[in-house]
Homo-oligomer: A and B are copies of this chain.
Amino acid sequence: MTRKNILLKPEEMPRQWYNILADIKLNPPLGADGKPISPESLAPVFPMNLIEQEMSTQRWIDIPQEVLEILSIWRPAPLIRAGAFEKALRTPARIYVKYEGGSPPGSHKPNTAVPQVYYNKVFGIKRLTTETGAGQWGSALAFACAQFGLECKVYMVRISFDQKPYRKAMMQTWGGNCLASPSTETAAGRAALAADPDTPGSLGIAISEAVEAAVADKSGQTRYSLGSVLNHVMLHQTIIGLEAKKQLALVGDEPDVIIGCAGGGSNFAGISFPFVLDKMNGREISILPVEPKACPSLTRGPFGYDYGDTSRYTPLLAMYSLGHTFIPPAIHAGGLRYHGMAPTVSQLAHEGLIEPKSVSQLDAYRAGVLWARTEGHIPAPETCNALAQVVSEAEKAREEGKEKVILACFSGHGLLDLAAYDRYFSGQLTDADLDEREIDRAREMLGKHPLPENLRSR
């Protein structure tokens, strides 16, 4: 057979995560007073074992047995040798795609939801809160909470809550409690409703509500959980790249180009971080985070200190950002609409170890449709962005006549995003670059918290 998934045996699943903080140095998160925050100041929000993991510089961290057991519902995940896609692109490149659509919620998000819930449970936490935009992250956390018997409360941006009732049903099926944000249950929600009773809500408000609800529980049994950006989230996702590395070794290939879509950064980190180490050790690899042209934090945003949320509840993080008040145009790759970028990914870009790319919305769907028609699985809109870059690299390989090896991540399937495909086919989607004035505004905002001279890691 020419087309065959490259599979690992259950016992070949990686037993440790790779922690990139052993190999790069980050500018520390700052409090509102401009001073580095202490671990203790985060204790009302996250359990201390996860805070320690967030700050750990140990290179390899054991994956707990209980976590491996639940990941084994869908892991090891297949590595697809995309022979039919290659053929359609008439490229000499060998394209390998790591398929993360097999998890129960259909994306890579449970790779971190499961360990996060596990560490919370070990710490004695009974209930988690979180926010969700389009619903991917809320679904993943609800799934993981069901596995460990924790309660789960998800504040979902009202406009998505109303437009996507199936996401709410999904969380409910896993026992999660999903409510529209702003809600009347928190001070942040009530304030937002008082200001505008008809507000569609925003991720910023939803984050504020989720954090407030966690902190407000005086029993100390509730914490908050975040699905991207933070170091421990990137850590948990490295199982993607570590599996891919083993799978490529089985067929005797090594990647020349690595591609992942980048919103908050966790999918990109997952597929690429284990290979960044190889690059630091001298191997020549192009490592490409891909973002939509409509939300180009890494490719056009300034690097500096900015808040993680609109309402400035989080610490200041050193990252590429379009400014914490930035509201991206209504593109459909909901998971890529974040204003900032994980500090780890940002630092790698700043040091030139990775080369950010951006693609247009129409190119993304075009690549996604080609993938579906050749290789079968319908990709999520986020994944389409990565595939558009794969197409570019495959075409470049054809022009150069090079037998390049391309590795990309398929972050999730698109079966819950078919309305977006419908809009694509009916010609309702358009391309739009971000106006330069928006970038100016971001520069001004990030200029308020000047960044100390960065230390190169090595």
Contact = CB atoms under 8 A, between A and B. Distances in A.
A379 B415 CA distance: 14
B4 A7 contact: no
B1 A10 contact: yes
B372 A146 contact: yes
A84 B69 CA distance: 11
Nearest to A102: B102
A421 B5 contact: no
Contacts of A104: 372, 376-378
A134 interface: no
B5 A10 contact: yes
B1 A422 contact: no
B376 A173 contact: no
B376 A68 contact: no
A430 interface: no
Interface in A413-441: 414-416, 418-419, 421-422, 425
A81 to B, nearest CB: 11
Interface in A156-210: 165-170, 172-175
B373 A169 contact: no
A58 to B, nearest CB: 24
A254 to B, nearest CB: 22
Nearest to A84: B147
B146 A373 contact: yes
A375 interface: yes
Q: How many copies does the complex hold?
A: 2
Contacts of A172: 421-422, 425
B169 A1 contact: no
Contacts of A65: 1
A404 B415 CA distance: 37
Contacts of A378: 104, 170, 173-174
A369 interface: yes
Given A7-B9, A373-B146, A376-B104, A69 B174 contact: no
A55 interface: no
A73 interface: yes
Contact of A419 (B10, B166, B422): B166
Nearest to A10: B4
A310 B376 CA distance: 33
B1 A69 contact: yes
Interface in A300-347: none
Contact of A1 (B68, B165, B369): B68
A144 to B, nearest CB: 10
A158 B174 CA distance: 32
A246 B372 CA distance: 31
A375 B74 CA distance: 11
A3 interface: yes
Interface in A1-35: 1-5, 7, 9-10
Given A1-B72, A5-B73, A169-B419, 11 more contacts: A1-B65, A4-B69, A5-B10, A70-B376, A73-B375, A146-B374, A165-B418, A165-B419, A170-B415, A173-B378, A174-B372
Interface of A: 1-5, 7, 9-10, 65, 68-70, 72-74, 80, 84, 102-104, 106, 143, 146-147, 165-170, 172-175, 368-369, 372-378, 414-416, 418-419, 421-422, 425
17 contacts: A1-B68, A1-B72, A3-B73, A7-B7, A7-B9, A103-B376, A104-B372, A146-B373, A147-B376, A166-B422, A169-B418, A170-B378, A173-B378, A173-B425, A174-B373, A175-B373, A415-B415
